[in-house]
Structure 1
Amino acid sequence: MGETIMTPKTALVTGAARGIGLATTRLFVEGGRRVAMIDRDEEALREAAAHLGDAVLPVVCDVSRPEDVTRMASSVRDGLGRVDALVNNAGVADFGPIAETDFARWRRVMETNLDAVFLVSQELLADLCATRGAIVNIASISGLRASTLRVAYGTSKAAVIHLTKQQAVELGEHGIRANCVAPGPVDTKLALAVHSPQIRAAYHDAMPLNRYGTEAEIAEVIVFLCSDRASYVTGQVVAADGGFEATGIGLPALRG
């Protein structure tokens, strides 16, 4: 009798060229999965994928464009044969006052942070049904608690949280689990670009763990939720934020 060859499990990660997406890709690969790395920045994607060898399939795609998503999904099916886990991580941060947020700015945020999550998930539904797979959508603590300058960003992430719950409720009968990770402040290039030293100090004081998280720490939560170890977890929002969301509006000075 011939030996049965098992196809390794796979994952598809959007926004995989850097930051949390790249850290998640690396952790998946360490765990034996093949990974489709999706990003619209071709140069950064090729450079990131070059260090991960045959375990990854880089596909250039703007996940906010329906026609691009359809082409991307076809390439992933041809290259990997299956999709066991989908991580919708691609996102943009565009902070500014409500009065300065015109519709064009609003749409730029929504099309990547929200529309893309819907488009990629819808395109891969049949694939995930076939593998009884998992979806993990990346939101933010800005989707859990309002903050200044985040009218578009925070609203997009709040919508991602609710979309995740809709997916969990409707897709559970097909064996698909859907969960959401809401990172707090994380040491990424994006955070360094938009968080001044004063903002970083304020976050430090407001968080029970008194520090920013790392990309690898967020990746650990994502990969867990995609794994069989989380087989009875669906419809949940995990705030990986050093305790920031739990503090509500409490003042650091009152914690002592």
Structure 2
Amino acid sequence: MPRRYDGRVALVTGAASGIGRAVATRLRDEGARVAGLDTAAVDIDGVHGIRCDLRDEDQVAAAVADAAGWGGRIDLLANVAGVASYAHTTDVTLAEWDRILAVNLTGTFLACRTALPHLIAARGAVVNVASLAGVRGWRYSAAYSAAKGGVVALTRALAVEYAPDGVRVACVCPGSVDTPLKRNLVPVPDQDPRLAGHARALLDPPVAEPDEVAAAIAYLGSAEARFATGAVLRLDGGAGV
């Protein structure tokens, strides 16, 4: 395991499970001091857990201040927290639309906005987690696709705005990943059979492991990726080809 994060401090959202847990563990193992944010308890050895609902501006401000005070700085922000659901668009309530956008897009924005002064001071990096659904059409996921497409656009906007300050901003777009989020998704009834093979991965097995996504995030957040800003890295097994 490389030690690319010795002496650095990372802040990871959604760190209690899935990709976020894998990212927090990977960064810790590479030498980082890691603060993990989640609405659930973060029980990873050596990781400073902070309870935080990313939809709440005041909670985000308090959590980032806690992480910066604990670590003394913030070199990397990894925005991993997310929620999803499947539904026919005509069945999506406004409350569900708001929930999906609030966590996936607004929460990412709030974490970025609040951490940026620390990242500017450290000349650090942001790595956001978007989705294959944010860069191509995705069935029964209008709200999720809109939110993740927004994360891609936000990534590019911040990459341009903060390049003069030495802050890099990139994102990864996973396809199917074996996480509790995926396993807990309820299939849509009355699916159109014409969409059954849409966006199918070309590789076998067609589902990635969280550790594989974590490895890409660890690279993009490290000094080895010095020339990668505004990058949108698809990790979809060829599903988007």
What is residue 100 of structure 1 aligned with on the other side?
91
Look up the SS of the partner of 2:96 in the other structure: helix
What is residue 207 of structure 1 aligned with on the other side?
201
92, 113, 119: which one aligns with 1:122: 113
Please tell me the residue identity of whatever aligns with 2:124. G
Contact 1:208–1:243 (CA under 8 A) maintained in structure 2: yes
Structure (1/2) with the larger helix percentage = 1
What is residue 149 of structure 2 aligned with on the other side?
158
Contact 2:86–2:186 (CA under 8 A) maintained in structure 1: no
1:167 is the counterpart of 2:162: no
What is residue 142 of structure 1 aligned with on the other side?
133
Please tell me the residue identity of whatever aligns with 1:217. E
Write out per-residue CA displacement over residues 19-73 of structure 1, whole angstroms, 9 at most, x where no aligned residue.
000001111011100101000113xx2xx22xx13xx211100011101011111
1:172-191 equivalent positions in 2, closer than 5 A: 172-191=163-182
Provide the TM-score with structure 2 as the length reference.
0.91
Residues 20/203 of structure 1: CA separation in 2 closer, same or farther (3 Å cut): farther
Contact 1:62–1:69 (CA under 8 A) maintained in structure 2: yes
Deviation, 1:149, is 1.1
Look up the SS of the partner of 2:85 in the other structure: coil
Q: What is the distance in 2 between the residues matched to 1:165 and 1:106?
A: 23
1:236 is the counterpart of 2:231: yes
Q: What is the distance in 2 between the residues matched to 1:78 and 1:170?
A: 26
Please tell me the residue identity of whatever aligns with 1:39. D
Deviation, 1:193, is 2.1
Q: What is the distance in 2 between the residues matched to 1:105 and 1:92?
A: 11
What is residue 250 of structure 1 aligned with on the other side?
none
Contact 1:11–1:85 (CA under 8 A) maintained in structure 2: yes
1:59 is the counterpart of 2:59: no
Deviation, 1:85, is 0.3
Look up the SS of the partner of 2:127 in the other structure: strand
Look up the SS of the partner of 2:184 in the other structure: helix
Deviation, 1:79, is 0.7
Residues 203/27 of structure 1: CA separation in 2 closer, same or farther (3 Å cut): farther
Deviation, 1:104, is 1.0
For structure 1, the 5+ residue unaligned runs are: 1-6, 247-256
For structure 2, the 5+ residue unaligned runs are: 1-5
1:49-88 equivalent positions in 2, closer than 5 A: 49=44, 52-53=45-46, 56-88=47-79
What is residue 20 of structure 2 aligned with on the other side?
21
Contact 2:85–2:186 (CA under 8 A) maintained in structure 1: no
Length, aligned pairs only: 229
Contact 1:140–1:182 (CA under 8 A) maintained in structure 2: yes
Deviation, 1:98, is 1.1
Residues 205/152 of structure 1: CA separation in 2 closer, same or farther (3 Å cut): closer
Could you say which structure has the larger radius of gyration?
1
Residues 76/232 of structure 1: CA separation in 2 closer, same or farther (3 Å cut): same
